[in-house]
């Protein structure tokens, strides 16, 4: 997984300046910042507001409206674990319990810096559940040990 550079106000300012001329520049700028740093630091809000002649509230509203924009650095690895109906029938909740009990990994614990196991609802892989998505790779028939190993940085 890509390691992102720390938030840097000067590079952020350069990105904003490069894209400010675009029509409806807020979203392209936010995407470019997230691509560069892996998240959009709230410090970007006044930069963008000033460059685009918008209020800070408008920029903040756009940043927080779209859930894909992250406002804090993300963990090194994110494992999305499906907890929708078909995967429930195939034991995903037992995985959640075992992860917590035997591996000390709480699902949806956004405070971990190393890895996050995040709930998702249906990955379209229902027949082969429980399903997970890691680094863009869809995995079927996962169990708690495999999820824990993925959290430790092992590849599929």
Tell the smallest beta-carbon distance from residue 3 to ligand FES (Å): 29
DSSP 76: S
Tell the smallest beta-carbon distance from residue 151 to ligand FES (Å): 19
Which is closer to ligand FES, CB of 25 or CB of 142?
Answer: 142
Residues that bind ligand FES (CB under 6 A): 82, 84-87, 122-126, 129, 131
Which is closer to ligand FES, CB of 32 or CB of 84?
Answer: 84
**Strand ranges of the sheet holding 77-82, from the earlier edge strand across to the other edge:** 115-120, 77-82, 132-134, 137-139
Which is closer to ligand FES, CB of 25 or CB of 81?
Answer: 81
> 47: which 2 tokens?
């930069």
Q: Is omega for the bond preceding 130 within 30 degrees of 0, making it cis?
A: yes
Residue identified by tokens 């109906």 is 85
Which is closer to ligand FES, CB of 29 or CB of 144?
Answer: 144
Tell the smallest beta-carbon distance from residue 145 to ligand FES (Å): 19
Query: Rounded distance, CA 122 to CA 114, Å?
Result: 24
3 state SS of 153: coil
């Amino acid at each position: 997984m890509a390691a992102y550079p720390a938030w840097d106000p000067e590079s952020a300012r350069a990105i904003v300046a490069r894209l400010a001329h675009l029509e409806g520049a807020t979203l392209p700028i936010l995407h470019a910042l997230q691509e560069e740093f892996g998240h959009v630091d709230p410090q970007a809000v006044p930069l963008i507001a000033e460059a685009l002649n918008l209020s800070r509230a408008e920029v903040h509203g756009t940043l927080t409206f779209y859930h894909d924009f992250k406002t804090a650095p993300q963990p090194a690895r994110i494992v999305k674990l499906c907890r929708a109906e078909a995967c429930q029938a195939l034991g995903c909740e037992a995985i959640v319990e075992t992860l917590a009990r035997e591996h000390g990994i709480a699902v949806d614990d956004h405070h971990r810096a190393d890895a996050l196991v995040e709930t998702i609802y249906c990955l379209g892989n229902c027949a082969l559940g429980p399903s997970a998505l890691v680094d863009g790779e869809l995995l079927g028939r996962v169990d708690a040990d495999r999820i824990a190993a993925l959290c430790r940085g092992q590849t599929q």
